Structure 1
Amino acid sequence: MKRIVTLSAMALALCASFAASASDKCQAGPKDQWQPKEALEKKLGAEGIKVKRIKVEDGCYEVYGTDAKGKHIEQYYHPKTLDVVKPRG
């Protein structure tokens, strides 16, 4: 019986972990409070980043592009502050 309870608890913990990883990274609130994608593209252009695509992913702006040295970048930005969102881990 203890084994079943232990396995059930482990399965529940795994499900909770998966749900947390799928939640919003930025928790940025309503989209009407976000800065426009064009503002992020302008900011990154001033930093030497050539933006190929900006999309919304997990409540963040996800940017695909190249830096000034031509290196591919894929980075998340908070849509209200336009700050880089650090990866979890």
Structure 2
Amino acid sequence: MKTIALPAKMLPALMLAATTLFATGAMAHGGFKCEEPKKEWKLRDDLEDKLKAEGWDVRKVKIDNGCYEVYGFDGKGQRREAYFNPKTFELVGDVPQK
């Protein structure tokens, strides 16, 4: 296996590019945060029922960064990873899906 030697002056630019790439991915999934006290949260099943009434096909609901994270398909058939406030069920964020 051959080793490729890069000029030393390229290293800072390469490190910056790698850091930016990894930070962007982390922000996409960790940028949504809910800070409601747990005693004020509504039930997960109630959110699932609400979304199903809106035409969603809910595959999974879990907790992430204090929000309800929902995986499924919305009423238009679009694949979604959406974050909801557990107290109000307000949509607080969406991760683009391919």
TM over 0.5: yes
Correspondences of 1:1-89 after superposition (within 5 Å): 25-29=33-37, 31-86=38-93
Does the 8 Å contact 2:32/2:93 carry over to 1? Answer: no
**What is the identity, as a one-letter code, of the residue corresponding to 1:27?**
E
Larger Rg over CA atoms: 2
Provide the aligned length of Structure 1 versus Structure 2: 67
TM-score, length-scaled by structure 2: 0.60
Distance in 1, Cα, partners of 2:69 & 2:54: 16
TM-score, length-scaled by structure 1: 0.65
CA-CA distance at 1:24 after TM superposition: 7.2
Give the gaps of 5 or more residues in structure 1: 1-17
Give the gaps of 5 or more residues in structure 2: 1-22
RMSD over equivalenced CA pairs, Å? 2.2
Distance in 2, Cα, partners of 1:83 & 1:52: 19
